[in-house]
Chain A
Amino acid sequence: MTSPIAGGVDCDLHPAVPHLTSLLPYLNDYWRDQVTTRGMTDLVSQSYPPHSPISSRPDWRPARGKPGSNLEDMKAQALDRFGVSYGICNPLYGVQMVFSEDMADAFCRALNDWLVKEWLDKDARLRGSIVIPVQSIEKSVAEIERCAADKRFVQVLMLVMGDMPLGKRAYWPIYAAAERLGLAVGIHAGSNYHNPPTSVGWGSYHIEDYVAQAQAFQTQLTSLIVEGVFAKYPKLKMVMLESGFTWLPSYLWRLHKFWRGVRMETPWVDRAPLEIVRSNIRFSLQPIDAPPDPATLNRLFDHMQSDELLLFSTDYPHWQFDGDAVLPEGMSSDLVRKIMIDNPHATYTRLKEPAHGHDPEKHALGPRPDGWNPVFGKDHAQTK
């Protein structure tokens, strides 16, 4: 087993919202009333059924409540266990599935405020990702700007399967805001189920949905690259979270070959896809879709032709590895250092911001500066 080194950054932790009612204190009267009067159910996505084996390692499964819902467990099982200096929280609460942009916006604001109060304020190592209501680009940008004032937010979080391919120009204001504010954009496994969860339709099984995440990441990378996101936002870093990475080399061979063949179609793509990936795209370590023998994995690392692409992650509490074997067998100590420390710090530049002496009062998330009406949104507020 390869041992983790102290001072690493765990780039993919999943604190769980215990229930929709846990967000009530962070909702205004209107939405609190909506949740209770309408009897809204918990927003659990079938991307991660709580009792599915992949949703929690057996020995990380709590006696009661959702896996990942307890900070003390996360400390003991992940943060302390692997000696990390930082842990980046990527809440996978099903707010993306909501169809109403107003409802999604209210829930995202509550979720981000909940993350600050229930997690970031309680452990100085924790950092956050801003969950955005992608149902509205305008509201997403506003939420990014609101949360970015708190330097503990280091990333914007989106799902790999949504309404449109992620390179589409409609999304670009989100990427502009992230680049401007020094936030990475994290793309996490999961679907809003507004489209079939595979590119050939609805499969029968949960395992198909999970396996298909890797293919969804591939098509999203193509979209992001060929639409020209990184020509427009060259400083933007995007992190593929829980994506797997062993598919990357052969995927890039194919993309590169077709780009050579039909690049006249997308003339703004002015660098080879492989170069764009090296400069702008990163991947979380877990899951490692490879056989357990070090020889094969080291060949795969060689096929990737860069030691800067991977970022350490446990994917806590998801079941990706057993015991302390978070790092695969046979990794060099140089690579361990790159993956655990150097690469995450190069990706999440906000980690350099003062980590301690944080004053929650001073940095409390306030109202949006744009006169946002938290019930109906900006447009309605303007017409009133």
Chain B
Amino acid sequence: MNVQFRSGAEPASSVGVKTAIADCDIHPARATATELYPYLAKRWHEHLETYGKHPYQGMMEGPPYPKAQPNASRRDAWPPEGGPQGSSLSFMQQQHLDPNNVALGVLCPLNTGQGIRNQDLSAALATAINDWQIDKWTSQDSRLKGSVVVANEDGLAAAAEIRKRAGDANFVQVLLLSRNVEPLGQRRYWPIYEAAEEAGLPIGVHAFGFGGNPITASGWPSYYIEEMVGHSQCQQTALASIVLEGVFERHPKLKMVMIEAGFGWAPSLSWRLDKSWQRLRSEVPHVKRPPSETIREHIYWTTQPMEDPERRDHLFEVIDWVGWDKLLFATDYPHWDYDDPSRVLPAGVSAANREAFYLGNARKVYGLA
């Protein structure tokens, strides 16, 4: 978030501002509702106008929990030429990519073809959004890289889309959301992991999505803040499922990036998984290693919204437990809870760790080192 919380906190070093950074969570938007039409067969134009997207939640338009501000975006991020925040490449360059010296920006398109009940529509929208990423963004600015959006509930269609994009330098990961019809370790998603490993693409699991399940294990909460804070709990259970179903035993080369769900919970979840696994491993004989080792080896974490304890030694201890080599800086541009790269790390971080945090780790995990 681009506000300072700690009274008396030391101003962060300005070194990070000048050096090149990776931003591993940028949200590109469509300027108009029909911007995807050139990438969709005509039947889908009519279908969308008649029936809508028919998602796994009740609202025809907009999110079930109203955001705190329009499009959950910064109030200063409306492009001058019109359209929603994040829909103009030139304004994104001017407001974010250039001044922050973003050398690598990973696009995570939301409100796409995921979380949709009609699987043919889901697949068509995923393909369209991928073509659109190339045309509007990655071919126009070489700093930007796309995410392969897939029909998340149809493993075979998703795998086909991944194989179609394999080897295409416009894309650096496959994008899933955390909340799906089932926990992400379930078999319906296995073809996605198989194809991603084959293509050498990490899986990015971004917070959000609707899969028809109440977003807590005790039903639907009341408030937007509960949804926002709750993303970390959804991500935890999704990750536990991935680990306990043995996804990484089957796909030892696969890497995953947990996007926008925090990382401070990773040590506690890992310890809990380890302790439970020691007791209950006869139930999951396919899980061969302590879950903490699997998580440490295969999982990367984007930083925004940055963990923000009162004391910076607490932050540094948690990062030591997670690993300085596992964090990928992200701003979440243009969303309201944007992290400012010049403020996100307190003083007292070594030059090597800063470089890894802001750029080096991202280049490695996305194969651009």
Binding site for B on A (CB under 8 A): 52-54, 160-168, 191, 195-208, 210-212, 214-216, 218-220, 222-223, 226-227, 244, 246-247, 249-251, 253-262, 264-266, 287, 289-291, 296, 299, 302-303, 305, 319
- Given that A207-B244, A212-B240, A219-B217 are known contacts, is A198 also in contact with B183, CB under 8 Å in the complex? yes
What are 20 inter-chain pairs, A to B, with CB distance below 8 A?
A162-B219, A165-B226, A167-B221, A195-B218, A199-B213, A200-B178, A200-B182, A200-B241, A203-B186, A204-B244, A211-B276, A214-B236, A218-B229, A219-B226, A219-B229, A222-B226, A222-B230, A227-B223, A246-B272, A303-B318
- Please name the residue on chain B nearest to A219 by beta carbon: B216
> Across the interface, do B221 and A210 meet the contact criterion of CB distance under 8 Å?
no
Q: How far is the CB of A268 from chain B (nearest CB, A)?
A: 11
Query: Would you list which residues of chain B between 223 and 243 have a CB under 8 Å from chain A?
Result: 223-226, 228-230, 232-234, 236-238, 240-241
B273 CB–A CB distance under 8 Å = yes
Contact of B221 among A212, A219, A247 (CB under 8 A): A219
Contact of A258 among B179, B186, B229, B314 (CB under 8 A): B229
Q: How far is the CB of A120 from chain B (nearest CB, A)?
A: 30
> Across the interface, do A291 and B271 meet the contact criterion of CB distance under 8 Å?
yes
Residues of A within 8 Å of B229, CB to CB, are 218-219, 222, 254-255, 258
Q: How far is the CB of B279 from chain A (nearest CB, A)?
A: 4
> Across the interface, do B314 and A249 meet the contact criterion of CB distance under 8 Å?
yes
Contact of B217 among A215, A257, A259 (CB under 8 A): A215
- Given that A199-B234, A226-B225 are known contacts, is A54 also in contact with B279, CB under 8 Å in the complex? yes
Residues of A within 8 Å of B273, CB to CB, are 211
Further pairs besides A254-B229, A319-B279: 16, Cβ < 8 Å? A162-B219, A201-B183, A201-B211, A202-B183, A203-B241, A205-B280, A206-B283, A207-B244, A208-B240, A208-B244, A219-B221, A227-B223, A246-B272, A257-B1, A261-B1, A302-B314
Q: How large is the interface on B (under 10, 10 to 19, 20 to 34, 35 or more residues)?
A: 35 or more
> Across the interface, do A289 and B268 meet the contact criterion of CB distance under 8 Å?
yes
> Across the interface, do A164 and B218 meet the contact criterion of CB distance under 8 Å?
yes
Contact of B218 among A201, A220, A291 (CB under 8 A): A220
- Given that A253-B307, A259-B225 are known contacts, is A201 also in contact with B181, CB under 8 Å in the complex? yes
How far, in whole Å, are A205 and B89 apart by their CA atoms in the complex?
46
> Across the interface, do B237 and A246 meet the contact criterion of CB distance under 8 Å?
no
- Given that A251-B232, A262-B225 are known contacts, is A191 also in contact with B217, CB under 8 Å in the complex? yes
Q: How far is the CB of A292 from chain B (nearest CB, A)?
A: 10
> Across the interface, do B245 and A207 meet the contact criterion of CB distance under 8 Å?
no
- Please name the residue on chain A nearest to B307 by beta carbon: A253
> Across the interface, do B230 and A264 meet the contact criterion of CB distance under 8 Å?
no
